[in-house]
Amino acid sequence: MLETPHVVVGAAIATKVVSPALAIPLALASHFVLDKVPHWNPHLFTETQKLGHPAKKSTFVAVADVGLALVIGLFITSRFATQPERAVTILACCLASVLPDIVKWPYYYLKNRWEPLKRWVLFERSLQVNATFWPGMLTQLLIIATGFWWISS
């Protein structure tokens, strides 16, 4: 799954679960739950296996997605600027929600083939439920919309 849906759900959890001790682990767990929803991803693993690195198009999509996730996460956090503890919890949940993917970036972009990292990449890959582009993007857009609805309710 792209990072943006993970961040929106992580932020939604943080806005509804007041305790950081509960919200942060829930945001982390949400990552694995969302990866089970059929979705589209750039094919970083397949391209790395084939080319030795992700393709430029996939890297562009990944960087654009991370940028969008950062903007959205900071936007949601800014709505709670008068509550610094809440704002920090939202940021922590946004990070926790994407941490399982962030850990994989050295494998793809720094060619770090350290065995534990490689096992993590393969484990994370085994959780993914892939879909073709349009149905896979639709599920992610619905997750983002639901996350914003949950935050606003």
CA 17 vs. chain centroid, Å, equals 19
* Residue 79 DSSP class: T
Residue 61: band (very low, low, confident or very high) from pLDDT cuts 50, 70, 90: very high
3-state class (DSSP) for residue 130: strand
Provide the token pair at 150: 């949950």
Strands (E), 10-84: none
Query: Which class for 24: exposed (0-12), middle (13-18), buried (19 or more C-beta within 10 A)?
Result: buried
pLDDT tens digits for 109-126?
Answer: 999 989 999 999 999 999
Cα Dmax for the chain: 49
34 close to 139: Cβ distance less than 8 angstroms: no
Provide the token pair at 79: 């709505």
pLDDT in the model for residue 100 = 98
pLDDT tens digits for 43-55?
Answer: 999 999 999 999 9
43 close to 136: Cβ distance less than 8 angstroms: no
pLDDT tens digits for 73-102?
Answer: 999 999 999 999 999 999 999 999 999 999
Whole-prediction pTM value? 0.96
Domain boundaries, the chain: 3-152
131 close to 39: Cβ distance less than 8 angstroms: yes
CA dihedral 64, 69, 72, 74 (to 10 degrees): -110
